[in-house]
Amino acid sequence: MITTNIQSTVSEKLKTLYNIDIEPGDVVLQKTKKEFEGDFTIVVFPFVKQARKSPEAVANELGAAVCDAMPDLAGFNVIKGFLNFSVSDNYWKSFADSIATNGGYGLKTVKPADAPVVIEFSSPNTNKPLHLGHIRNNLLGWSVSQLLTANGHNVKKVNLVNDRGIHICKSMLAWMRFGNGETPESTGIKGDHLVGKYYVKFDKHYKAEIKALMDSGVEEEQAKKEAPLMVEAQQMLKRWEEGDKEIRALWQKMNGWVYAGFDETYRKMGVSFDKTYYESNTYLLGKELVQKGLDIGVLYRKDDGSVWCDLTDAGLDQKLLLRKDGTSVYMTQDLGTALLRHNEFGADQLIYVVGNEQDYHFQVLKIVLGRLGFDWADKVYHLSYGMVELPNGKMKSREGTVVDADDLIEEMEKTAEEMCRDRGKNDDMSADELKELYHILALGALKYFILKVDPTKTMLFNPAESIDFNGNTGPFIQYTHARIRSIIRKAVGEKGLDLNATASAVQINDKEREVIKMLHEMPSVVEQAAAAYSPAMIANYTFDLAKAFNSFYQDTPILRESDQNRMLFLVQLCNAVSTAIKNMMWILGIEVPERM
- CA dist 362 and 381 (Å) reads 8
CA dihedral sign of residues 93, 99, 100, 105: negative
pLDDT (tens digit per residue) in 528-586:
999 999 999 999 999 999 999 999 999 999 999 999 999 999 999 999 999 999 999 99
Per-residue model confidence (pLDDT) at position 426:
72
Q: C-alpha distances in angstroms, 383 versus 305, 454, 510? A: 34, 12, 40
Question: Which domains are assigned to the chain?
Answer: 2-87 (3.30.1360.70), 121-399 (3.40.50.620), 405-587 (1.10.730.10)
Per-residue model confidence (pLDDT) at position 402:
66
Helix (H) or strand (E) holding 56: helix 55-69
pLDDT (tens digit per residue) in 461-495:
877 777 777 889 999 999 999 999 999 999 999 99
pTM summary value: 0.91
Provide the edge-to-edge strand list for the sheet that holds 73-79.
Answer: 30-31, 40-43, 82-87, 73-79
- CA dist 106 and 580 (Å) reads 7
Radius of gyration of the chain (CA): 29
Strands 380-385 and 349-355: parallel
pLDDT under 70: residue ranges of the chain = 391-402, 425
Helix (H) or strand (E) holding 84: strand 82-87
The β-bridge partners of 382 are 352
From the centroid of its chain, how far is CA 221? 40
pLDDT (tens digit per residue) in 271-309:
999 999 998 888 889 999 999 999 999 999 999 999 999
Per-residue model confidence (pLDDT) at position 401:
52
- CA dist 154 and 143 (Å) reads 14
CA dihedral sign of residues 483, 577, 155, 376: negative
Per-residue model confidence (pLDDT) at position 408:
87
* Alpha helices (H) in 353-430, listed in sequence order: 359-371, 405-423
Q: C-alpha distances in angstroms, 178 versus 197, 200, 232? A: 11, 12, 15
